[in-house]
Structure 1
């Protein structure tokens, strides 16, 4: 490889953010560096899922060296309430920082979505540049589909967002998606050339397997014993629909069920959820845990929870599933039985699925698995096996290395559209983003 930065990675989320897209963006940068590429990451200052800059960060620009990767952190507008026009300004402000950053020498560019509308500005700069590096779009979350599933993409806003998303991805030399369902949607619904679409699964990103001694983990965290602990980790956002867990905990209080729910993490809905949970004794909110304590939480759990709002089927693959399977604990998902999350759990045979928005069904499933040690052990072992075979980091990095080699072997795409088309994409994005309330990132 050459001595100058060969690969530029753009991601609004990056370590030390512990959840969502960040661990994967960081691992990709480090993995490509280990394979001989010089990698530069242009990322936002850490702010997710709290939607506030982390302590010690927030400078206009901060340059770090992380795992051999040159990491340039750019301050952008971070709204405390990421809704509507505030979310629009957040993504566009990050996109402007990317456009103004120095990455002229990059031989290939990988842009992570979210944030879609920052990606549009990157595409515009590529199109206006004399040097047009190949552009890889890495799709962790489908915006238009997510808006439709959360009820926020009705009418013109949804159509415009879909148009922007489709044209952005068509401009890419390669589109990497994290699940076969995403690939089918990209080809059939967004009109992406299927030859450009690659599936690279997200992987288990925990450095070590969660400790095996559940009692010791509970003691270390100060969590109760003698009851079934049902633990949800990650973003407390809109699409998680965690009112369902609050209602299940309320039912547990009313019936005296031997269970305790934990919501570990932060997000734009935490304040609302905390208010809804006032007076419930079988539910505890836990701030985001450190990298050292997070595996303890997974180990302390008797069951691990995924919860999605009713109607969410294919907009995102919950990234927490990779960590859950890695931990060897049974998974209960309150989700659409025909959705991608349910499909993953069935493929792994790593747990059970109940319908989204049915707190009684969720509580019953927790109690059932909590009282069946054999089933819990079987689901946990199956999840670990699935992680090793399907969600292996080494295999994913090899696939990514192949993607990069292939795009580097190509000349810049002749299908690059005109600056006028790029400007139209931005205008469409402005209109679309101003007309919907909130589209949460993957979690």
Structure 2
């Protein structure tokens, strides 16, 4: 099978969409597929091009995948308008690779959203050569921009919503990572038989249970009597991370309790400055840890924070939760009743749930966990990860759909979960 993947994020980015796109492409190549990727130089989540890469056109072969990198505008401070410019700059520069590919044949093209408009160049290939185009949605970007107030211009929002709906109705299939996001896509008028469930996964070779002794606790200077509350992931605007600081402020009375924030992102500088202003000696920031240390890093925590704003419910799915489950960690999760995340956690006993954007509820939940009152809440975490989030099983299933529905076939049979 000859596959073209088009996405702004790709390996060696350690978190977010780039990680999953990289692992997907590598898996396809390992199965003997011919895989090309049109992408940007790695810049996320630091919002700075990674050392060793130039913000320029570059071709390389990584793990059997031909990677075509395009320059793009990377803003130092991310705003709604700058993000649009950032994404459009990538689309424009990627035309250098797209134009010759309109004269080449592929069995399938996978566009990874966000940004949602990456489907437009791929749709031209579909019109010219009949190539199936699968739009894989990791985040419902336009909905999030509206509901989180990232874009406030109503005219622009209407244009983006109409463009997204037009595009999704014309690609061959739409895949996404959660039931809640699937429901949102259905509400956009996309037929159910075009939607594929393709959830994010856990690589069991990298993320697995690690004993407290072998974790990163000693390396980071924490002893057995220390209590460590960890947030690890993107430091963006969708999570409501300022509540970690408010929570730390309220829990100064708890001895040997530390809030450790690991990650990078557009909100980091603001969070660091606010923690200093509040004189929070119980809050520590660390950069992203190497991938090979991920299991040991996660295993160091007594409690993991998985935070989202109310407005982000069912628009994004916190991928960090999959890794927490894989190490058997106890997650304190903010989610509203009725959302996919809430129902999933409650049904499978994956962690302790509290209301989003409610610091009092967050504090109450954390104090109960530290008192040992919530052990039963996460008893299903490790089992769920092993049975439902296995990397090989998920990628095998998705590839099977692709191989059965390439352009040599006349119909698209997308199984529903």
Question: Shared topology, TM-score over 0.5?
Answer: yes
CA distance in structure 1 between the partners assigned to 2:111 and 2:313 by the alignment? 24
Could you say what secondary structure the match of 2:54 adopts?
Answer: coil
- Matching residue of 1:183: 182
- Matching residue of 2:294: 294
- How far did 1:152 drift? 4.0
- How far did 1:61 drift? 2.2
Deviations 1:320-369, CA, capped at 9 Å, x for gaps: 11111111111111233333322332233111111122223223322321
- How far did 1:409 drift? 4.3
- How far did 1:59 drift? 4.3
Of 53, 59, 79 in structure 2, the residue corresponding to residue 63 of structure 1 is 59
Of 6, 10, 16 in structure 2, the residue corresponding to residue 20 of structure 1 is 16
1:199 and 2:197 aligned? yes
Larger RCO, structure (CA 8 Å, separation 6 or more): 1
Alpha-carbon contact 2:207-2:294 (below 8 Å) kept: no
CA distance in structure 2 between the partners assigned to 1:144 and 1:297 by the alignment? 33
The verdict on how the C-alpha distance between 1:312 and 1:162 changes in structure 2, with shifts beyond 3 A counting, is same
The verdict on how the C-alpha distance between 1:348 and 1:75 changes in structure 2, with shifts beyond 3 A counting, is farther
- How far did 1:383 drift? 0.9
CA distance in structure 2 between the partners assigned to 1:346 and 1:148 by the alignment? 28
Aligned residue-pair number: 404
Could you say what secondary structure the match of 2:128 adopts?
Answer: coil
- How far did 1:113 drift? 0.1
- Worse overlay, 17-26 or 80-89: 80-89
CA distance in structure 2 between the partners assigned to 1:45 and 1:61 by the alignment? 9
Q: RMSD across aligned C-alpha pairs, in angstroms?
A: 2.3
- How far did 1:244 drift? 0.5
Alpha-carbon contact 1:251-1:360 (below 8 Å) kept: no
1:140 and 2:128 aligned? no
- How far did 1:211 drift? 5.1
- Matching residue of 2:173: 174
- Worse overlay, 90-99 or 266-275: 90-99
CA distance in structure 1 between the partners assigned to 2:201 and 2:208 by the alignment? 15
Could you say what secondary structure the match of 1:183 adopts?
Answer: helix
1:314 and 2:314 aligned? yes
Alpha-carbon contact 1:228-1:258 (below 8 Å) kept: yes
- Matching residue of 2:28: 32
Structure 2 alignment gaps of length 5 or more: 413-417
The verdict on how the C-alpha distance between 1:211 and 1:180 changes in structure 2, with shifts beyond 3 A counting, is closer
Alpha-carbon contact 1:114-1:141 (below 8 Å) kept: yes
- How far did 1:296 drift? 1.7
Could you say what secondary structure the match of 2:42 adopts?
Answer: coil
Could you say what secondary structure the match of 1:14 adopts?
Answer: coil
- Worse overlay, 361-370 or 70-79: 361-370
- Matching residue of 1:156: 155
CA distance in structure 1 between the partners assigned to 2:95 and 2:181 by the alignment? 28
Alpha-carbon contact 2:349-2:379 (below 8 Å) kept: no
- Matching residue of 1:417: none
Could you say what secondary structure the match of 1:40 adopts?
Answer: strand
Q: After TM superposition, list the pairs within 5 Å mapping 1:77-226 onto structure 2.
A: 77-101=73-97, 102-103=100-101, 104-123=104-123, 125-126=124-125, 130-152=128-150, 155-187=154-186, 189-205=187-203, 207-210=205-208, 212-217=210-215, 218-223=217-222, 225-226=224-225
CA distance in structure 1 between the partners assigned to 2:151 and 2:83 by the alignment? 15
Alpha-carbon contact 2:122-2:133 (below 8 Å) kept: no
- Matching residue of 1:434: none
- Worse overlay, 390-399 or 59-68: 59-68
- Matching residue of 2:234: 235
TM-score, structure 1 as length reference? 0.85
- How far did 1:258 drift? 4.5
Could you say what secondary structure the match of 2:219 adopts?
Answer: helix
- Matching residue of 2:332: 332
Alpha-carbon contact 2:204-2:391 (below 8 Å) kept: no
- How far did 1:319 drift? 0.7
CA distance in structure 2 between the partners assigned to 1:14 and 1:207 by the alignment? 20
- How far did 1:81 drift? 1.6
TM-score, structure 2 as length reference? 0.90
Write out the 4+ residue segments of structure 1 that deviate beyond 4 Å after TM superposition: 378-381, 409-414
